[in-house]
Amino acid sequence: MTLTLAADLTYTGKEHTMAARCPHCKAAGVRIIYGMPDPDLGAAADRGEVFLGGCVLPEGELPTWHCPACGHEWRLHRPQAAPAKPRR
């Protein structure tokens, strides 16, 4: 089984350190990782550093962050690179 993951869903081992805040309760969110976890990823999930979304991908936009406090899941949109505006 081969999964095609969007670039922002791939696990690099660093992204989960950039914690996002839950929009509901302001607790630190954990990164949701989709696909089959390897042993390192399973250990990270056991430590609560990432949340495993499983290898069955639901329809539509996938949330990328999970709140361990209230269970809310949300998608963090990357800031668009703003076009450089000449300032004078």
Select the span of 10-18, 45-53, 66-74, 80-88 touching Zn ion (CB under 5 A).
66-74
**Could you say whether residue 22 binds Zn ion (CB under 5 A)?**
yes
Interatomic CA distance for residues 66 and 72, integer angstroms: 6
**Could you say whether residue 33 binds Zn ion (CB under 5 A)?**
no
Binding track over 39-58 against Zn ion, x by CB under 5 A:
--------------------
**Could you say whether residue 72 binds Zn ion (CB under 5 A)?**
yes
Identify the sign of the CA torsion 16, 51, 53, 68.
negative
Interatomic CA distance for residues 36 and 13, integer angstroms: 15
